[in-house]
């Protein structure tokens, strides 16, 4: 870890009033949740962008549900890691702290984060494709027929698919938090999927000190004021350690 960059970050954190954090699949990798890039993101040779769409669900709802139930099962077995918990400690130090996540795994919530904006929904929730009503029932694929809403609509996972708009409260809140942030931390994201990927630039454009924490370079690396390459589950606790009591 580049010590000089850490020193700069610690100074900035000591004087900051408003902090915004954007996380992606990378922060959950050390919990055992596969990320989207590379072979890890593949499921039965399908890329996430192929299955996480309205067209895929209309064409083959059984297959799409199989994928979500597979991920749900996997995510129900994992725990938050040191990276998730370090953000809880960081949140305690700022009156104005907003955690913006692209992750649908619910691990930030399970870790105890409070001010969270889940941009892409939550994989544990269901809703009706037609009327949007939430659905608490069990999803059983062997029943031969997929669960239906009382309005007759198909039940789907309550996540945002490619080509779909994000929940207005979440994306509007995310832009507001980005525009007023003194420091913006982008953690464990390849910064490719929009509009989430435009939040770091929005923050930087409004004067925020932009910090990237990621295992490998991304399109954001060149724009960040400092970029810390490594595992978020190691770097974040080290920063909290150095910030001291």
Residues that bind ligand BV8 (CB under 6 A): 24-26, 29-30, 35-37, 48-49, 52, 102, 104, 120, 159-165, 188-190, 192-196, 214-216, 218, 231-233
CB nearer to ligand BV8: pick between 204 and 214: 214
Stretch that binds Zn ion, among 148-156, 178-186, 211-219, 229-237 (CB under 5 A): 148-156
CB of 57 to ligand BV8, least distance (A): 11
The beta strand positions in 79-215, using DSSP E, are 96-101, 116-118, 121-128, 155-159, 183-187, 209-214
Q: Which of 111, 116, 117, 128 binds Zn ion (CB under 5 A)?
A: 128
Report strand pairing: 121-128 vs 155-159: antiparallel
**Strand ranges for 46-175 from DSSP E:** 96-101, 116-118, 121-128, 155-159
Cβ 33 vs Cβ 25: under 8 Å:
yes
Among 10, 42, 59, 131, binds Zn ion (CB under 5 A): 131
State the nearest-atom distance from the C-beta of 65 to Zn ion, in Å. Answer: 16
Burial of 119 (0-12, 13-18, 19+ CB in 10 A): buried
Least separation in angstroms between CB 150 and ligand BV8? 25
> Which of 162, 184, 135 shows the shortest CA–CA distance to 57?
162
Catalytic one of 84, 108, 120, 194: 120
> Within 13 A of 197's CA, how many CA atoms are on the CB side?
11
Has 120 been annotated as catalytic? Answer: yes
Provide the mask over 149-178, with x wherever binding to Zn ion is found by CB under 5 A and - wherever it is not: x-x-x-------------------------
Chain position whose Cβ is nearest to ligand BV8: 26
Q: Is the peptide bond before 184 cis (omega within 30 degrees of 0)?
A: no
Where on the chain is the footprint of Zn ion (CB under 5 A)?
A: 128, 130-131, 133, 149, 151, 153
| Residues with catalytic function | 120
């Amino acid at each position: 870890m580049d010590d000089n960059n850490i020193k700069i970050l610690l100074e900035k954190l000591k004087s900051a009033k408003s902090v915004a954090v954007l996380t992606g699949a990378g922060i959950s990798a050390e919990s055992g949740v596969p990320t989207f890039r590379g072979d890890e993101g593949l499921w039965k040779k399908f890329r996430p962008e192929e299955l996480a769409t309205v067209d895929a669900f209309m064409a083959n709802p059984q297959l799409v549900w199989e994928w979500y139930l597979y991920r749900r099962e996997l995510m129900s077995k994992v725990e938050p890691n040191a990276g998730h918990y370090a953000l809880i400690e960081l949140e305690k130090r700022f009156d104005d702290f907003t955690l913006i996540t692209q992750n649908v795994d619910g691990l930030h919530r399970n870790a105890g984060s409070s001010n969270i904006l889940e941009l892409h929904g939550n994989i544990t929730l269901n809703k009706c494709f037609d009327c949007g009503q939430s659905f608490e029932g069990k999803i059983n694929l062997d029943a031969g027929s997929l669960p239906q809403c009382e309005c007759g609509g198909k039940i789907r996972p309550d996540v945002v698919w490619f080509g779909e708009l994000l929940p207005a409260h979440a994306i509007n809140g995310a832009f507001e938090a980005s525009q007023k942030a003194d420091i913006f931390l982008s953690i464990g994201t390849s910064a490719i999927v929009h509009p989430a990927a435009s939040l770091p630039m929005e923050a930087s454009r409004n004067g925020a000190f932009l910090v990237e924490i990621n295992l490998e370079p991304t399109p954001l690396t060149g724009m960040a004021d400092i970029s810390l390459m490594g595992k978020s589950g190691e770097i974040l606790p080290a920063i909290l350690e150095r910030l001291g009591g």
